[in-house]
Structure 1
Amino acid sequence: MDSKSKGTNKKSKSLLGKYELGSLLGRGTFAKVYLARPVAGGEAVAVKVLDKAKVMGTAGMAPRVLREVTAMRRLRHPNVLRLHEVLATRAKIYLVMELATGGDLLSRLAALPRRRLPGHTARRIFVQLVAALSYCHARGVAHRDVKPQNVLLDGDGNLKVSDFGLSALPDSLRDDGRLDTACGTPAYAAPEVLRRKAYDGAKADAWSCGVILFVLLAGHLPFDDSNITDMCRKAHRREFEFPEWVSQPARRLVSRLLDPNPATRVALATLTTQPWFKRSLSLDSQLGGLLNGQQESALAFQAPAMNAFDIISMSSGLDLSGLFDQRNREIRFMTAASPERTLEELGRAGGKLGYVMVGKNGVECLTLGSLPGLATMTVEMSELAPPLMLVELRLEVADGDGDGEGQGFGWEELRHELGDVVRTWHSYQDF
């Protein structure tokens, strides 16, 4: 498919033949976010574009991007921003994500006259925040940077937790199950994190939720000091005051969340027992359904079907280092053949060339035994416009070198063996 032929708007740009990039939504130090629409039709998405050279040239940025992608691929919840897929060229990385048209919570609060929400609205937002983070914790992900800037809203005002760049996964834990990396935003970080002590990631997120709830109700931070040491001291001593309009049940809940002792701090998963949550049976029902990742009528959420060709992987051990590994070789081709026939032909061709087809976490892989060390080829398929399918082949080499497309990796031999299954064949270098 010729990406240049897509779209008549001269200001738009086709991304790898799959998405039509539109207006710029925002920019940061390392990334720009664009509005985009699938070429084959469907809902608009947000595409985060990262410059590989900048990411690789900045200490700590490559691991942060990998953490964000790995964490978001593990999570499917109506209140967690959805990562649809990851695309890459030689110079750019594209994160295709759910579009949240309501902006971030900080901007929403800043636009209000008193910078705070009415009690019922604050409760609704907070219930969704607790639901999202409890779901993350149950799947081994601690966010570690929960703040209003990382809480987005969709067009209906429903919450979407975003930015998992500082998140912690199970492989980040020490032998005692705790974390020791100090990270996050000081005004929202737990005292144990600021003091660089070992901490429980879920309990640290609970503290951040307490700060957010205070901000939603009061209109300002509970601890606000330019001196981090003084701010930490105030947090440890619980030196904060509630405005008179904050209800007693809400005060008790905030106090239990802003407990400087993580051992006695309330856990997010137990908040259904708190009186503040029980003021509305519908909200209680909503929280229970969302904590279990179930469909809930008020949000009209329905998880899309998963199949063997989904790009999104739920594997906790997913290795994404190939995004930055120059030894990684990637090829894509278009086919009108069915997914079943395409995989059958890939298996046949691979077997003839000395490859072994193996299954791995819902994504079909080829293990190449003819190269030094271990080489794994991941096959990912997605539908563009029936019956046209996009097939992406990603080769990851653990040892040894390759010298480009068609040399050392057997790409041309594979293409020849696939025959008429291949309609058009592209290297990622073509984009």
Structure 2
Amino acid sequence: MAGTKSKSSSKAGSPLLGKYELGRLLGRGTFAKVYHARCLAGGDPVAVKVLDKPELSATGMAVRVLREVSAMRRLRHPNVLRLHEVLATRSKVYLVMELAPGGDLLSRLASLPTRRLPEQAARRVFLQLVSALIYSHARGVFHRDVKPQNVLIDADGNLKVSDFGLAALPDSLRDDGHLHTACGTPAFTAPEVLRRKAYDGAKADAWSCGVILFVLLAGHLPFDDANIADMCRKAHRREYVVPRWVSQPARRLVSRLLDPNPATRLAVAELASHPWFKRSLSVDSQLGGLLGGQAERELAFQAPPALNAFDIISMSPGLDLSGLFGDNRRTREKRFMTTASPEQTVERLGQAGAKLGYFMVGKKGAERLPLGGLSGLVAMSMEMLEVSAELMLVELRLEAGDGDEAEAFGWEDLRVELGDVVTAWHVCEEG
């Protein structure tokens, strides 16, 4: 212990390639140590994972590290741990990552008297996990080791999916379009993976989500992994008991995710439409979500579709022919470009809505609005489109109210409230 302490203390405060000041040891694994560090340029705190090159080569773990780096470089999402950069010397590899000082989800649950969360809190946690996985899957990254230990918590209590060392990328697929490598942690791994069958990476992650949801609600695993063969049999027979305090919508969701047949198992991308995530469209619930915290709506699930050149050209103000047909679109719709994340954009729009008197709805929510709108409030829908990896086009539309209300809406006030979220505001010149 004394030798370890001395070695760790010699690391503390030493500059890393002139860019980072290493601090205390946060944790260690078989092949890596993670240090708290500070960026010398801006002073921001980060985490630095230090790996030994010769050891990685000797154990065959180099491939896993390369896979983790390749996966994390593809992903930029509020609920995915951010990889800032990779540094290397002759003997070491340094992964500089976002700091998540709240520890992992398993430790957080273990610290609770009941080892579980109230259902409302579980919903918020699970929403963030699902949002991260939908985003990852849309970019061809399948985690394959989703478990509470790999879900970290930042200083604000938000989730950060981490450890993509077992992730599958598009080039991992065989000619049959499936994955074949059996990997993961048995208690959270889909039965088809444990049985070494070809499998769909997205459906395998969905099973893991089902186990995590069960743990969040029940406080224990649905299947004991002491004997893997026995655990597989119980999983195929659905031999688990959901505690009585879990609501019926949550029970049905667990059942759909812990479906031993991957063909009928609920996919992660389908979770957005499940009743457990639905919220009332009442003014109270909308404003409560916008004023009080995390908005649980379909917008948070959608991975924004990519735009091609023809889409961008068709949105040019010079090609807007709506005025020819009496459509007052210019007063009802606005667009802006942003480099902020979808979650940050939704949050800022919600905060602005509380001040300016509108509330956000998804497209399906807009279809359910009463024809006359809601007295004293304006409903606004939003759609995000991906222009590039770091640039989004946001389309806003007033969904309720007559033409006079649309004319009077304070678009310029909204632009000011959004502040630096707006990179470029789309302006339609009147002809």
C-alpha distance in structure 2 between counterparts of 1:259 and 1:209, whole Å: 12
Superposition map of 1:113-152 within 5 A: 113-152=113-152
**Is 1:295 aligned to 2:370, yes or no?**
no
Counterparts in 2 of 1:62 and 1:153: CA distance versus 1, 3 Å: same
SS in 2 for 1:291: coil
Letter paired with 1:277: F
Structure 2 partner of 1:180 = 180
Aligned residue in 1 for 2:429: none
CA deviation vs aligned residue, 1:309-345 (integer Å, no higher than 9, x gap): xxxxxxxxxxxxxxxxxxxxxxxxxxxxxxxxxxxxx
**Which residue number in structure 1 is paired with residue 74 of structure 2?**
74
**Closer/same/farther in 2, CA of residues 97 and 290 from structure 1, 3 Å limit:** farther
- Written as runs of structure 1 = structure 2, the 5 A alignment for 1:226-265 is 226-265=226-265
Cα pair 2:78 2:343 within 8 Å, conserved: no
- Counterpart of 1:12? 13
Is the 8 Å Cα contact of residues 186 and 225 (structure 2) preserved in structure 1? no
Partner Cα distance (1:245, 1:18) in 2: 51
User: What is the Cα deviation at residue 288 of structure 1?
Assistant: 1.9
Aligned counterpart, 2:224: 224
**Partner amino acid, structure 2, of 1:131:** S
Aligned partners of 1:267 and 1:169: how far apart in 2? Answer: 18
What count of residue pairs does the alignment treat as equivalent? 295
2:279–2:296 contact (8 Å) kept in structure 1: no
How far 1:289 sits from its partner (Å)?
Answer: 3.1
1:213-240 Cα shifts (integer Å, max 9, x gaps): 0000000000113110000110011100
What is the match of residue 98 of structure 1?
98
Q: Report how far residue 270 of structure 1 moved.
A: 1.2
How many Å separate the matches in 1 of 2:241 and 2:146? 22
Instruction: Please give the per-residue CA displacement for 1:133-175, whole angstroms capped at 9, x wherever unaligned.
Output: 0100000000000000000011111000000000000000011
2-side partners of 1:115 and 1:46: how far apart?
Answer: 27
Q: Is the 8 A contact 1:144 1:166 kept in 2?
A: yes
- Cα deviation, 1:235-272, whole Å, max 9, x if unaligned, reads 01110001110110000000000000000001111111
Partner residue, 2:85: 85
Q: Distance in 1 between matches of 2:194 and 2:224?
A: 14
Distance 1:301 1:205, change over 3 A: farther
1:296 match: secondary structure: helix
Secondary structure of the corresponding residue to residue 135 of structure 1: helix
Report % sequence identity. 75
Instruction: State the match for 1:340 in structure 2.
Output: none
The question of whether the paired residues in 2 share the 8 Å contact of 1:128 and 1:287 is answered with no
CA change 1:83–1:286 in 2 (3 A) is farther
Q: Distance between the aligned counterparts of 1:105 and 1:211, measured in 2? A: 13
For 2:299, give the aligned amino acid: G
Q: Is the 8 A contact 2:109 2:115 kept in 1?
A: yes
Q: In 2, Cα distance between the equivalents of 1:24 and 1:50? A: 13
| Distance (Å, rounded) in 1 between the aligned partners of 2:157 and 2:207 | 24
1:43 aligns with 2:44: yes
Aligned counterparts of 1:106 and 1:149: Cα–Cα separation in 2: 5
The answer to whether 1:54 aligns with 2:88 is no
Counterpart CA distance in 2 for 1:11 and 1:269 is 44
Cα displacement (A) at 1:296: 2.4
Could you list the per-position Cα deviations for residues 103-125 of structure 1 after superposition, in whole angstroms to 9, with x for gaps in the alignment? Answer: 00000000000100111110000
Residues 19-30 of structure 1: matches in 2 within 5 Å? 19-30=20-31
| SS of structure 1 residue aligned to 2:343 | coil
Aligned to 1:189: 189
SS of corresponding position for 1:288: helix
1:41 deviates by: 1.7
- Partner of residue 208, structure 1: 208
- Tell me the secondary structure at the aligned position of residue 56 of structure 1: helix
Distance across 1 between alignment mates of 2:225 and 2:123: 27
Question: Aligned residue for 2:157?
Answer: 157
Cα offset, 1:279, TM superposition:
3.5
In 1, distance between residues paired with 2:52 and 2:346? 35
User: Is this contact kept in 2: 1:12–1:21, CA < 8 A?
Assistant: yes
Q: 1:151 to 1:142 in 2, by over 3 A?
A: same
Classify 1:287/1:129 alpha carbon distance in 2 versus 1 (closer, same or farther; 3 Å): farther
Instruction: Measure how far apart 1:299 and its partner are.
Output: 8.5
* Aligned mates of 1:253, 1:259 — CA distance in 2: 10
Structure 1 residue 286 displacement after superposition: 4.6
Contact 2:104 2:150 in 1 (8 A): yes
**Counterpart secondary structure, 2:342:** coil
Paired residue for 1:32? Answer: 33
- Aligned 1:366-405 pairs, distance under 5 A: none
CA gap 1:168/1:152 in 2 versus in 1, 3 angstroms = same
**Is contact 1:26–1:34 with CA below 8 Å preserved after alignment?**
yes
Name which structure has the greater RCO, CA cutoff 8 Å, separation 6+.
1
2:353 aligned partner: none
How far residue 291 of structure 1 moved from its aligned partner, in angstroms, is: 3.0
TM-score, normalised via structure 2 length:
0.66
CA contact (8 A) 1:278 1:284 kept: no
The Cα of 1:42 is off from its aligned counterpart by: 3.5
Q: Secondary structure of the equivalent of 1:46?
A: strand
Structure 1 residue runs without a partner (length 5+): 1-8, 303-360, 363-431
Bigger drift between 114-123 and 276-285 goes to: 276-285
